[in-house]
Chain A
Amino acid sequence: MSTDMTAPAPGATAAGDVLLKIENLVKYFPVQSGKLIQGRRDFVHAVDGVDLEVRRGETLGLVGETGCGKSTLARCVTRLHDITAGRIIFDGVDISTLPPRQMRPHRREMQMIFQDPYGSLNPRRRVGSIIGDPFAIHNIASGADRKRRVQHLMELVGLNPEHFNRFPAEFSGGQRQRIGVARALAFTPKLIVCDEPVSALDVSIQAQIINLLSDLQRELGLTYIFIAHDLSVVRHVSNSVAVMYLGKITEQAPVDQLWDHPRHPYTDALLSAVPIPDPDRGGARERIILVGDVPSPVNPPSGCRFHPRCPKARQQCVDEVPELEPRLGDATAHIAACHFPVADGEDISKSKPSIGADQRVIESGVASGS
């Protein structure tokens, strides 16, 4: 990534240097294959060679369909999963293989906010003690001091500090998500990985949490990796966005660049599928409806992994893995992994793939009806 970020940082601090660098990250999960005896080990290729950089004070949006590996990538970054191969360099330190004890000090610097505000809080513990957990684990501040710090955190995220002794069940979904944010902020981490932080919330509450996260970013100079499937939310919060498909990054660019000039057909399809809450604009655009479902990550397709669903697929897409690099004269910050990138103004909903039908997923009903 170069310095020509077109997106104005929504309140970024003195941004610039790279906080997190991921090199060729691979994560496979073993799965039991059909035969129990002498069955060979198959692997789910959850994350399959991902390179990413996240700059200090900025927000990297990570989008993709269910099962594309975005959550696994997030959990690898925070070392909740051990990685299969590759390197994670966080703030200048290679943390990819650190043993748990040495990893612990770094964990303070990187925190996670989870999707489900119901499942991520222990229902039998009081909120004060949940938010105070990081202090207990790292043996910092106890007794009245800890209580004071917890109450400060509660105030910071817009909770009433007097509700210290309540149980999670006494809070609404939006307030619970605030509890999750407070817990993540305990040591003012450098990086917060937000895994679908607003997906489970109602629209009006969702906006409250998004505003809270951007206020905190401005005040505390936080860096976010923001995972969401709601693309309008990602567009609102991110400086740059990476699109994932079947364990690989297919395109990455500064946010407006990606929206205005999507190069990968998958990005184009993804963006066009988002319903726009404006009846005057929604009807005017051409929608690209992808055929079929995401293939199994156990046996990902050869070449470009998107080729079985791509409207522009050709033989080269089956044979060769496309490099992630600038296409069609884009700036170096805008990279796409596609042999036949989408030109500006091109309408790929009319494109027809030129490879044989046996290599593609056939969806007679949807394809012929459209």
Chain B
Amino acid sequence: MALLEVQDLHVSFRTADGIVKAVRGVSFQVDRGQTLGIVGESGSGKSVATQTIMGLTRGARVSGRALFEGDDLLTMKHDQMQDTRGAKVGMIFQDPLSSLHPFYKVGWQIVEMIRLHDHQMSKAQARQRAVDLLKLVGIPQADMRVDDFPHQFSGGMRQRAMIAMAMALNPMLLIADEPTTALDVTVQAQVLQVIIRLQQEFGTAVILITHDLGVIAEVADDVIVMYGGQVMEQADRLTIFNHHHHPYTEGLLDSLPAHSAERVRLRPIPGQPPSPITLPGGCPFNPRCAYVMDRCRKEVPPLAPTDTDSTHLSACWLPRAKAARGELRTKMLVQRAATEQLVQAPAQAEA
């Protein structure tokens, strides 16, 4: 049995502008010791999905199931949720400054968290545990820094303190929502290293939410790609990067500058992500898709296995058989190249 199994999760919010359908039928599962990467652009519903699982979206209309060790987190009583959250599932958020209370010492905040869940532990023991945790995540002179306020920590240290807090009770699952987005690359490398090391040491499952495909390529085992509140594609890491099926995944990877000396013009996905209030009919990606067909505008494609591999799922009407897909793509790419040339010809003539 998977550690966490989310089935057909729907989340919507009522706002003054209309109903925001943030998550529309998302299913995934995470096994012990595994890292699941969730990629998507802002508004794709990746954060809302995980926050809902943790009971952090008050006032939202939620349906579906989220089974954690067999218990449904979505229908859990408040007390039971309180015991699960923090103790069994830890969370790290993007902004480490606003996740720590500015008036309380960092150590105090970790101690509070430990004693809330473990009533047996004395204050002194909890404090020692806090110091050990800060050491574990690489805070220098942890026995002194434990009495610092959050503002005395640098950004990377704050994020590491957040990790220490999230790991305080050896949770089975760690949800990291853009944990390194606010950090410099050198610090990002440090923080990712800490997460990976803790995972190896304690066998924690990790859900890593990020928009950075580079981070995904380095740490995730499985990846889901979200767009417009739905899962577009799901596969293991190598498949996502090397044999993706969905045009959105392709567009995301094409948008990145090449990590090599050649400087080809970037190929961005045209247009804007859809508003979650007025989503397009059919496939949510159809207005921006290079391979759009009539059917895409009318029917929502199901998330179904591609032929090569039963764990590789894609929500796209493009042919599943590899040969047929390749043929169609080549045809469409030739068409696209022809139109692109028409657009670029004047510019090139000038240059």
Contact = CB atoms under 8 A, between A and B. Distances in A.
Given A204-B268, A211-B265, A236-B266, A279 B185 contact: no
> Which secondary structure characterizes the binding site on chain B?
helix
A273 B238 CA distance: 21
Nearest to B180: A275
Interface stretch (A41-49, A226-234, A314-322, A333-341): A226-234
Interface stretch (A32-40, A77-85, A118-126, A287-295): A287-295
Interface residues of B, number: 58
B138 A202 contact: no
Interface in B205-248: 211-218, 237-238, 241-242
Given A204-B251, A205-B272, A229-B185, A276 B193 contact: no
A219 B350 contact: yes
B256 A277 contact: yes
A73 to B, nearest CB: 17
Contacts of A215: 347
A232 B259 contact: yes
B341 interface: no
Interface string A278-319: 111111000101101110000000000000000000000000
Interface string A184-220: 0000000000000000001111111011001100110
A167 interface: no
Contacts of A281: 259
A260 B154 CA distance: 31
A65 B154 CA distance: 12
A313 to B, nearest CB: 16
Contacts of B203: none
Contacts of A210: 257, 266
Contacts of A361: 140
Contacts of B329: none
A205 B252 CA distance: 10
Contacts of A362: 140-141
B253 interface: yes
Interface residues of A, number: 59
Interface string B185-198: 11111101110010
Interface in A252-272: 256, 259-260, 269-270
A76 to B, nearest CB: 22
Given A362-B140, A365-B139, A65 B214 contact: no
B184 interface: yes
A273 B188 contact: yes
A366 interface: yes
B135 interface: yes
Contacts of A256: 261
Given A233-B257, A369-B197, A65 B347 contact: no
Contacts of B254: 207
A165 interface: no
* From B154, B190, B253, B267, residue with most partner A Cβ within 10 Å: B190
B178 interface: no
B78 interface: no
Contact of B237 (A10, A211, A279, A370): A279
A66 B184 contact: yes
Contacts of B252: 203-204
A287 B189 contact: yes
B184 A229 contact: yes
Interface string B22-62: 00000000000000000001100000000000000000000
Given A8-B263, A10-B263, A205 B268 contact: yes
A363 interface: yes
A278 B237 CA distance: 10
Contact of B193 (A219, A235, A260, A289): A289
A275 B347 CA distance: 34
Given A65-B186, A232-B256, A277 B140 contact: no
Nearest to B216: A277
Given A203-B41, A274-B214, A279-B217, A293 B237 contact: no
B267 to A, nearest CB: 7
A273 B193 CA distance: 11
B140 A65 contact: no
Contacts of A247: none
Contact of A204 (B136, B139, B156, B269): B269
A175 interface: yes
A8 B272 CA distance: 32
Contacts of A2: none
A251 to B, nearest CB: 15
A236 B256 CA distance: 10
A276 B217 contact: yes
Contacts of A364: 135, 138, 140
B313 interface: no
Contacts of B141: 362
B305 interface: no
B157 A277 contact: no
A192 to B, nearest CB: 19
A218 B347 CA distance: 9
B266 A211 contact: yes
Nearest to B197: A369
A154 B188 CA distance: 37
B293 to A, nearest CB: 21
B316 interface: no
Given A236-B257, A280-B238, A292-B140, 6 more contacts: A8-B263, A204-B252, A273-B186, A275-B185, A289-B186, A366-B194
11 contacts: A203-B255, A206-B255, A207-B254, A207-B255, A207-B269, A215-B347, A273-B185, A276-B259, A279-B238, A282-B214, A362-B140
Interface of B: 41-42, 135-141, 154-157, 184-190, 192-194, 197, 211-218, 237-238, 241-242, 251-259, 261, 263, 265-270, 272-273, 347, 350-351
